[in-house]
Structure 1
């Protein structure tokens, strides 16, 4: 059996943390079945964020002990196949198969998650500057992403980087089914605590916090409490994820979805409904 690398590269906000935590907590079981999920104990559960610095020695270590299949994952690679060049070059030199896997979700869901992630990553800076989202509105965030977020191009670039095997594209709700198809029906524990999967804050909470940050008379401790409270509301209904906003986002990204469908046969539109049928909010 030839060596094989299953390389998950994203997309961000599409179940990456969940997948990585499942693989990490099942690392021993995977190893017992000839599959390695290497991890050096770093905070991030992914294991391929620094592939641009890998050497031949790093590559050889992946397959130590007669391992035939290696599972690598990091969402930061999504738009950066060049970062994986050392890995891909070493694999090509010995004829190892590289199967790139990408999970997607509808653009409206992605943008809502993106907005949350900006708040979580930058809250303390926003609290100091009282300038949330660096002065951008949610529509500004959408427009900026529209200019820069090009999944069809990212997928083409990955396909060019691994010409021998077709990039596999699936929905974020199909992570388990996809990985079981690639790795086999192994006795893995797929249960991960919700808080450990980097769940998105609700849009309405992000907007309330942002509004409070813009008001200099709102005390710092009040805003800090709003932020802490938001993490306990992630599973509640979210008025900020409105049909009107979904309609705008899905319409703006319709061309990108059409390219993904044409090139990879994957329909990334909102499931079970045409965006035109959504009721106004």
Structure 2
């Protein structure tokens, strides 16, 4: 029977991919200290993702056989654990009250004490990251339209960003000392600071987990965002989650070609800063009043003012977009050149990917 379950429910775009990758890289070290981070065959950590999809009834185009029964399979690992258990996926942030209630009821049935963990970054950076995420999966809207939708409450991402909504849904039945809010440090801070704040929240000592993350969510700049929108318009539904081109866009176009480029970053401008600051301040005030355990500084959630030389991400920049397109073509040619052509080469290629 587990002693404690640390349930990390988001928020999206708050460093979750980095944290999950680093937990996964240290899963054996965690196990030696009596802490379980569940995984599937060959160390597949997508079991958290599939379980979150089922628990929240979310369709990301994943094969139904992966999702069906995923929460029950994960719960069996929780029941079999001794000591602490870590569960983590940001899809859980969008859960309804009924969905969260079912998950908590199942976890409480194990006899474990539940600790809720919510990582959060300042809203300006979360919105910038969220728009980029939509572009990775077929989105075509300009940045201004995306922000207007978020301001009016019509953006699905906003449900997961809002700590008042998420912590009310997930934490209403929990005492304040079992609700942990981890604030992401401002841009330019020490690279390990978020990780150390997260470890403090889950009661893990840094020396227990020495390995670095093997992946993080790639971000793109303004020129790359323009290119992705044009690609998505051309490919239509096949670029969206579940479409045949979606894995190539996320993994190859963004991961290999566009993510490593150093171009001008996407940030909020003067027109949107006031409402984002006002909403962020309301969240900070609510968190202080709620009395949750804060790991970091709530002031980190207040967005920085836009730069004087801010560039509108919706402004055309054909030269830079063309340069990004050439990099994508080069990455695609490399992929075609390296693609296995014989059955033996294909088998070796698949095995190498599985081992990674």
Give the TM-score band, short-chain normalised. Answer: 0.7 to 0.9
Instruction: Determine the structure 1 residue equivalent to 2:7.
Output: 7
Quote the offset at 1:162 in angstroms: 3.0
CA contact (8 A) 2:10 2:119 kept: yes
Q: In the superposition, relative to structure 1, how do residues 24 and 45 fare at CA in structure 2: closer, same or farther (>3 Å)?
A: farther
Alpha-carbon distance in 1 for matches of 2:174, 2:102: 13
Q: Secondary structure at the match of 2:166?
A: helix
Alpha-carbon distance in 2 for matches of 1:105, 1:7: 18
- The number of equivalent residue pairs is 250
CA distances 1:62-86 after superposition (whole Å, capped 9, x unpaired): 1425x12000000001121543433
Q: Secondary structure at the match of 2:117?
A: strand
Alpha-carbon distance in 1 for matches of 2:253, 2:204: 44
**RMSD of aligned residue pairs (Cα, Å):** 3.2
Q: In the superposition, relative to structure 1, how do residues 40 and 246 fare at CA in structure 2: closer, same or farther (>3 Å)?
A: farther
Quote the offset at 1:206 in angstroms: 0.7
Alpha-carbon distance in 2 for matches of 1:226, 1:101: 33
Q: In the superposition, relative to structure 1, how do residues 25 and 215 fare at CA in structure 2: closer, same or farther (>3 Å)?
A: closer
CA contact (8 A) 1:20 1:45 kept: no
Which of residues 172, 197, 201 in structure 1 aligns to 2:220? Answer: 201
Which of residues 143, 147, 153 in structure 1 aligns to 2:148? Answer: 143
Instruction: Determine the structure 1 residue equivalent to 2:112.
Output: 96
Q: Secondary structure at the match of 1:3?
A: strand
Alpha-carbon distance in 2 for matches of 1:239, 1:62: 41
Q: In the superposition, relative to structure 1, how do residues 248 and 229 fare at CA in structure 2: closer, same or farther (>3 Å)?
A: same
CA distances 1:130-156 after superposition (whole Å, capped 9, x unpaired): xx51xx321111122221415022222
Structure 2 residue 187 is matched with structure 1 residue 167: no
Q: Secondary structure at the match of 1:248?
A: coil
Give runs of aligned pairs for residues 7-86 of structure 1, distance below 5 A.
Answer: 7-41=7-41, 42=44, 44=46, 46=48, 48-50=51-53, 52=55, 54-55=71-72, 59-64=75-80, 67-80=82-95, 82-86=98-102
Q: Secondary structure at the match of 1:157?
A: helix
Quote the offset at 1:175 in angstroms: 3.0
Give runs of aligned pairs for residues 224-263 of structure 1, distance below 5 A.
Answer: 229-233=257-261, 236-238=262-264, 240-241=266-267, 245-263=268-286
Q: In the superposition, relative to structure 1, how do residues 73 and 24 fare at CA in structure 2: closer, same or farther (>3 Å)?
A: same
Alpha-carbon distance in 1 for matches of 2:282, 2:259: 36
Alpha-carbon distance in 2 for matches of 1:251, 1:109: 14
Instruction: Determine the structure 1 residue equivalent to 2:308.
Output: 279
The runs of 5 or more residues in structure 1 that have no matched partner are 123-131, 217-223
Instruction: Determine the structure 1 residue equivalent to 2:338.
Output: none
Q: Secondary structure at the match of 2:94?
A: coil
Quote the offset at 1:60 in angstroms: 4.9
Alpha-carbon distance in 2 for matches of 1:170, 1:121: 28
CA contact (8 A) 1:3 1:97 kept: yes
Which of residues 280, 302, 316 in structure 2 aligns to 1:269? Answer: 302
Q: In the superposition, relative to structure 1, how do residues 252 and 21 fare at CA in structure 2: closer, same or farther (>3 Å)?
A: same
TM-score after normalising by structure 2: 0.61
The runs of 5 or more residues in structure 2 that have no matched partner are 56-68, 186-192, 236-248, 289-297, 311-356
Alpha-carbon distance in 1 for matches of 2:257, 2:199: 37
Structure 2 residue 168 is matched with structure 1 residue 156: yes
Quote the offset at 1:8 in angstroms: 0.7
